[in-house]
Amino acid sequence: MKIYTRTGDAGQTGVIGGRVDKDDARVEAYGTVDELGSFLGQAMSFMNPDIYADLLEDMLQVQHELFDCGSDLALLKQELRPYKVTAEMVDALEGWIDKYDAETPDITRFILPGGSTVSSTLHVCRTVCRRAERRVVTLARTQEINPEVRRYLNRLSDLFFTIARTANHREQVADVEYVRSAEVFRRKS
């Protein structure tokens, strides 16, 4: 199979059910999800398996689910095939958030991206995830989407924040607090 097809040379690309311009809101949305998957792969490459075996396993699942998100976003009409991203996938993210949050110390102020290399890279994932979510919101204003993708990305950015803190904690690196912040978070119960 050849990698190049030349079918996109005129500025259009194939999606499930047709062709659209390469700068179409749909392509922007799934392209940003693809970018997020690449940054997640980079973050995973920095994780020592002795410290992060559980996170590596969970993040590999997230990478697969990001491909599911992209596939659903590339679908022009739901009747072409069933959606892949489900409410159960969002529920699983919430379980991971709770699990990893239990490892970390309480926070009361906003946290700046930083600390360990793994944590810093996971914060990049968080911000790219938020951008992907914004692209999906823009797309949903004018075109049909799987609403679970939007929910998934919203929850995933929370997971990235949580595991960035988990990474700092596991590597015994303090989170960087935003010192000009008032205390805005409640302590864990």
What confidence score (pLDDT) does residue 188 get? 63
What does the pLDDT look like over 104-148, one tens digit per residue?
A: 999 888 999 999 999 999 999 999 999 999 999 999 999 999 999
The answer to whether 108 and 183 have CB atoms below 8 angstroms apart is yes
**pLDDT (0 to 100) of residue 189:** 59
Q: Where are the alpha helices (DSSP H) in 46-174?
A: 49-73, 87-101, 117-142, 147-170
Residue 126 identity (one-letter amino acid): R
Enter the pTM of the model. 0.93
- Per-residue pLDDT tens digits for 65-92: 999 999 999 998 888 889 999 999 999 9
* Angle in degrees, CA 76, 94, 62, rounded to 5: 55
Residue-wise pLDDT tens digits, 2-46: 888 887 777 777 777 787 767 889 999 999 999 999 999 999 999
Structural domains in the chain, CATH included, are 20-177 (1.20.1200.10)
Tens-place pLDDT, residues 139-187: 999 999 999 999 999 999 999 999 999 999 999 999 998 988 778 776 6
